[in-house]
């Protein structure tokens, strides 16, 4: 499920990555036991208690979304769609575009080895998303890393230019920070350390390019992840975001096959059957 890429270094020691790192941090957890108190309050003839004794287990995201969908029609009795028929149930949801029930299940990933250009595109996805991103004001140059695009890694001249550029950027960052600390010495000494650090770093980061690594912790619900896979794991997406999007979608396929199983390889991209559920 998780992928940790190698960290490379230039001859001068500037660290960089060539692939995204993807770590699944959190999946839904469903507690069906509590449902009995609700279902037992209905007329016993309706047979609603049948729901909690369904013999087929589903992965947690599918269990949760099926429960949410079946609440809509109080479909808890023996004639309901059983867990064994969950695939048919969700195919119907996907085909009819009733995607709101997919919003109950959330998955969280740590994604690193991605650059600032990638995260700038990623954070445009708003509906159903939560983000935490490394602060370039709080974190100084000591943890600075870069991301090399596949086309640069594939060509000796572009690779040489890349290494030269990131060495220069790392050096310039330190030079700017050192100069600011010198010329604003008194002002910085008079403020809380944390504010002083931000004041220096926010200026120093100006010399960093889109190639700067920008790790994210990102949470989204199933409906939002599906839309993301459709837009960003597609052939038309920039390789910078397509590669982590494909890796995340593959991880989600393992966690919730009924929701993400439709995303099939399409060259180095993915393609799904349903549009914008």
User: Which residues of the chain form contacts with ligand FAD (CB under 6 A)?
Assistant: 124-127, 227, 231, 236-237
Q: Give the span between the Cα atoms of 258 and 87, in whole angstroms.
A: 6
What the block records as the tokens of 136 is: 């370039």
What the block records as the tokens of 155 is: 């060509």
Q: Which is nearer to ligand FAD, 124 or 168 (CB)?
A: 124
Q: Is 232 tagged catalytic?
A: yes
Q: Which is nearer to ligand FAD, 59 or 99 (CB)?
A: 99
Backbone torsions φ then ψ of 9, nearest 5 degrees: -140, 145
Q: Give the span between the Cα atoms of 262 and 269, in whole angstroms.
A: 13
Q: Give the span between the Cα atoms of 44 and 34, in whole angstroms.
A: 17
The DSSP string of the chain is --B-PPEEE-TT--EEESS-EEEEEE-----GGGHHHHHTTS-GGG-GGGGGG-S----HHHHHHHHHHHHHTT--STTSPPGGGHHHHHHHHHHHT-GGGGGG-EEEEEEES-BHHHHHHHTT--TTEEEEE--TTTS-GGG--EE--HHHHTSHHHHHHHHHHHHHHHHHHHHHHHHHHHHTHHHHHTS-HHHHHHHHHHHHGGG--TTBB--EEEEEEHHHHHHHHHHHSSTTS-HHHHHHHHHHHHHHHHH-HHHHTT-EEETTEEE-SS---
Among the listed residues 232, 242, 243, 275, the single catalytic one is 232
Known catalytic residues? 232
């Amino acid at each position: 499920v998780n992928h940790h890429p190698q960290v490379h270094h230039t001859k001068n020691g500037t660290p960089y990555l060539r692939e995204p790192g993807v770590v699944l941090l959190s999946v839904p957890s469903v507690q069906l036991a509590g449902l009995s108190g609700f279902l037992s309050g209905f007329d016993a003839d309706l047979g609603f208690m049948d729901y909690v004794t369904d013999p087929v287990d589903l992965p947690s995201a599918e269990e949760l979304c099926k429960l949410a969908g079946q609440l809509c029609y109080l479909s808890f009795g023996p004639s309901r769609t059983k867990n064994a028929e969950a695939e048919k149930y969700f195919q119907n949801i996907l085909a009819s575009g009733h995607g709101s029930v997919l919003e109950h299940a959330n998955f969280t990933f740590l994604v690193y080895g991605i650059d600032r250009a990638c995260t700038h595109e990623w954070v445009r996805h708003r509906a159903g998303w939560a983000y935490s991103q490394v602060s370039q004001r709080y974190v100084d140059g000591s943890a600075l890393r870069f991301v090399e695009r596949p086309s640069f890694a594939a060509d000796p001249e572009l690779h040489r230019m890349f290494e030269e550029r990131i060495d220069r950027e790392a050096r310039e960052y330190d030079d700017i920070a050192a100069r600011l600390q010198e010329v604003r010495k008194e002002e910085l000494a008079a403020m809380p350390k944390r504010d002083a650090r931000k004041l220096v770093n926010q200026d120093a980061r100006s010399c960093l390019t889109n190639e700067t690594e920008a790790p994210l912790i990102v949470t989204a619900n199933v409906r939002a992840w599906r839309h993301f896979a459709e837009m960003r794991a597609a052939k038309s997406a920039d390789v910078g975001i397509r590669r982590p999007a494909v890796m995340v979608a593959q991880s989600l396929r393992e966690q919730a096959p009924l929701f993400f199983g439709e995303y099939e390889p399409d060259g180095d991209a993915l393609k799904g059957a349903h549009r914008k559920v």
